[in-house]
A and B are shown apart, each in its own frame.
Chain A
Amino acid sequence: MTKRAIPSRRDLLATGAGALATSILPRPVFSQGAPVKVGVILYLSGVQAFMGQQTRKGNDFGAKVVKEAGGPAMEFIYGDAESKPENGRIVAERLIREGCTLLIGTNDSGSTISVAQAAEAAKIPFLINIASAPQITEQGFTQIFRNFTPAGTLVGNAVARIKELGATTGVEPKTAVILHVNDTFGQGIMKGVDVLWDKQQVPIKILDRIGYDVRARDLSVEVAKAKAVGADLLMPITRVSDAILIIREMVKQNWSPMGIISPGSPGPYEKAFTDALGKYGDGYMSCVPWYNPTNKRAREIASRFEKEMDARFDLNAVFAFEAVEIAADAIKRAKSNEPAAIHAALKTTDIADHISYGGPIRFDEKGQNNNIGVVMLQNQNGKPVVVSPADASEAKAVFPFVPFDKR
């Protein structure tokens, strides 16, 4: 169970009064020398809280590491948008009012747009760390910077990894079936697959695509249907809980295809997944942005994170962490806590040595970082390891994977 001190009633009253007082006080003026207030907007409660709370750990750890390294003074103020897009705006306004001159967030495309509008109106830069809808950077917002791959780019890179897999292992799957969650994220990835599959002439034929509702708790029929297609590969696009359900059903229905490769989605690399499935979670591959395990600092950060935060340094944590480093870099160069100065500094961001796999972090005129790479992960012995591309690999891919009944 989660360890958390239960606050006393007096604490509650005191903080409540404090909260009220600060929210009535007028907006503070910017002063030189004071720490830069950075507002972090996440879904920390409500249906999507699991992602927000993971992301928060990455952010907390980033703050700690930057502080140790003698980075610029930053004060992080969290705002909980409660899994409601309309709250994004109001939380952003509140944080701006409390003096935040840089915003970071969010996990979800709806609240990201909601925050972006408030940021646009107040001319406060907004660093987007996880939201993946391609449309976000296409709407003409001037205050946004996104250090995450839009769904289309993610799939494009994933396709390259899947092609490499055939070349390096000598095993060439011919057919695939897609099982995908029908939510904003799953929809974006599916669109990417539709566009890129033909364009990049992937030699794997997609025989069927089976979508399911984001709230589905029972995927027995979906898996049975996918099994009946008789494809070489299963390509799941999932969240974590449905990824677990899919594997359980595959074991029970005794279906072991040549491999399970996700063309870009959360799920298999998460701790919840490997904890829940043990040896049955092994072999599952997923193409995602990730930290670069051949980078010494990234490896150290990852192992420290796992020890100190008691969580896996996965995608959410990596990009939450990296956003803090980008913010620190910009603030340092801005030499000011004025939003306009931070905005200008973010515009000229150019970080070559960073922990995620990919080229230097730079933002184009729309605010998108186009240099984020994608690795192929495979779960081996209950942990995700990078198996491709060659310049980031920690281990060799096991492909075709070991059938479930031989484990």
Chain B
Amino acid sequence: MAAAGPLLDSFWQSLLTLVFFYAFMGLTWNLMMSAGLLSLGHGLFLGLGAYATAVFTATGGLSPWISILIGAAISAVAGSAIAWIGGRFSVRGVQFALLTIAFAELARVLFDNWDFVGSTGGFFLKAINPDTNRPLLTLRGGTLFFYLAFVLITAGAYFLIRALMASRWGYRWRGINEDEDAARALGVPALRSKVLVVAISAGLAGVGGGLFGFLQGSLFPDSIMGLRISIEVLIAPIIGGVGSLFGPIVGAFFVVPLMEGSNVLGQRMGFYGLNTMIYGAVILGVIAFLPDGIWPRIVRFVAARRS
């Protein structure tokens, strides 16, 4: 996939950058789901990473490599705190999902009113000069750079999560997902397991956010940590297949071109609103007819063919 990058023109590189951004975010979101934790506030982790990376680089003058790690750490700490609070007070199910929304919205309002990060006025990054810029130093570049960067972190996240799921923690998370009380009875340290899974998920999301902020060039609390982005990042993994490791990637390859296609169609028709109608209708069709998502269905189909 990465090798095909240079062959594509910059429109396709940009589109695939968005595909891999959603694939990456979907992987991190799906990781929390493996422990049964439904996050409706993933924009918080994305936004914290984005803001920390941008602010430490632009205002703090640190290397973006260090800033992005700081961003990941801040996100991970925020994630752990939410997981700990949720676990400690046994907030589960839909209540936990609402807890994540509440924290994300609290953070958004805080950032909206925080002058140091530009408040609602926004935080702006300097333009990069395409001729003199060195992407590996600035972590910013043209479309090809961001495309490759998101492919790499998606691949990295995929293998990391695969290894985690095969480790003893992976079994613990699945155990909690199936029946938390039973898992506890069997000696699974439920609180610690949950804090760990959310910390990893949030930390990774922070890395994705850091790069996404660089891609954007300007940050606004509403668009980078608001409810809209929190919802958008979870559609791809659900459509792709929540239970599966590869599902979020497949989902992103389905959802992003779908958004782009319905946008172009709505635009050509001069019929604004058609874009979200098509998008909603297709999602409804997928969730109604492929209950487990696209990828598990493909896997089953291939398996049935073979046997």
Which residues of A are at the interface with B, using a C-beta cutoff of 8 A?
Answer: 4, 7, 11-12, 15-16, 18-20, 23, 26-27, 44-45, 49, 53, 78-80, 82, 84-87, 89-91, 93-94, 96-97, 109-110, 113-114, 116-118, 120-122, 133, 135-136, 138-142, 182-184, 186-188, 191, 213-214
Contacts and interface: CB of A to CB of B under 8 A. Distances in A.
A202 B266 CA distance: 49
B139 to A, nearest CB: 14
18 contacts: A12-B265, A15-B269, A16-B261, A19-B261, A20-B264, A44-B272, A45-B273, A78-B267, A80-B272, A82-B275, A85-B220, A87-B263, A89-B215, A90-B18, A91-B263, A97-B10, A97-B11, A133-B121
Contacts of A136: 124
Contacts of A19: 261, 264-265, 268
A323 B215 CA distance: 27
Which range contains the number of B residues in contact with the other chain? 35 or more
Contacts of A142: 127, 129
Contacts of A141: 127
Interface of B: 9-11, 14-15, 18, 109, 112-113, 119-122, 124-130, 142-143, 212, 215-218, 220, 222-223, 228, 260-261, 263-269, 271-273, 275-276
A94 B269 contact: no
B130 A120 contact: yes
Contacts of A91: 263
B133 to A, nearest CB: 10
Given A110-B220, A182-B113, A80 B122 contact: no
B266 A86 contact: no
A90 B142 CA distance: 13
Nearest to B267: A80
Contacts of B215: 86, 89
B121 A187 contact: yes
A114 B217 CA distance: 6
A44 B223 CA distance: 17
Given A121-B130, A133-B122, A187-B120, A44 B267 contact: yes
A7 B277 CA distance: 14
Given A18-B268, A93-B10, A184 B120 contact: yes
B275 A113 contact: no
A89 B14 contact: yes
A116 B217 contact: yes
B143 to A, nearest CB: 7
**5 smallest A-B Cβ distances: which pairs?**
A187-B121, A113-B218, A135-B124, A93-B11, A97-B11
Given A44-B272, A80-B266, A109-B218, A133 B127 contact: no
B10 A23 contact: no
Contacts of A97: 9-11
B269 A110 contact: no
Contacts of B10: 93, 96-97, 118, 121-122
Nearest to B232: A84
Contacts of B266: 45, 80
Contacts, number: 143
A16 B109 CA distance: 40
Contact of B9 (A12, A26, A139): A26
A191 B115 CA distance: 11
A21 B175 CA distance: 49
Nearest to B124: A135
Interface of B is mostly: helix
Contacts of B276: 45
A135 B276 CA distance: 32
Contacts of B275: 45, 80, 82
A97 B142 CA distance: 15
A16 B263 CA distance: 11
A122 B273 CA distance: 30
Given A19-B261, A121-B130, 11 more contacts: A16-B268, A85-B223, A90-B18, A117-B127, A122-B10, A141-B127, A182-B113, A183-B222, A184-B121, A184-B122, A214-B120
A118 B14 contact: yes
Given A82-B275, A121-B10, A121-B142, A182 B267 contact: no
A352 to B, nearest CB: 31
Which of A27, A138, A183, A188 has the most chain B CB atoms closer than 10 A to its own CB?
A183
Contacts of B113: 182
Contacts of A44: 267, 272
Nearest to B265: A16
B223 A120 contact: no
Contact of B121 (A11, A53, A138, A191): A191
A79 B263 CA distance: 9
B244 to A, nearest CB: 26
A126 to B, nearest CB: 11
A253 to B, nearest CB: 26
A90 B143 CA distance: 10
Nearest to A49: B272
Nearest to A122: B10
Which of B18, B220, B260, B276 has the most chain A CB atoms closer than 10 A to its own CB?
B220
A108 to B, nearest CB: 9
A135 B122 CA distance: 9
B218 A45 contact: no
Given A110-B122, A184-B121, A45 B272 contact: yes
Contacts of A78: 267
B69 to A, nearest CB: 23
Contact of B14 (A53, A90, A188, A214): A90
B120 A94 contact: no
B15 to A, nearest CB: 6
Given A93-B143, A109-B122, A117-B217, A7 B269 contact: yes
A193 B2 CA distance: 50
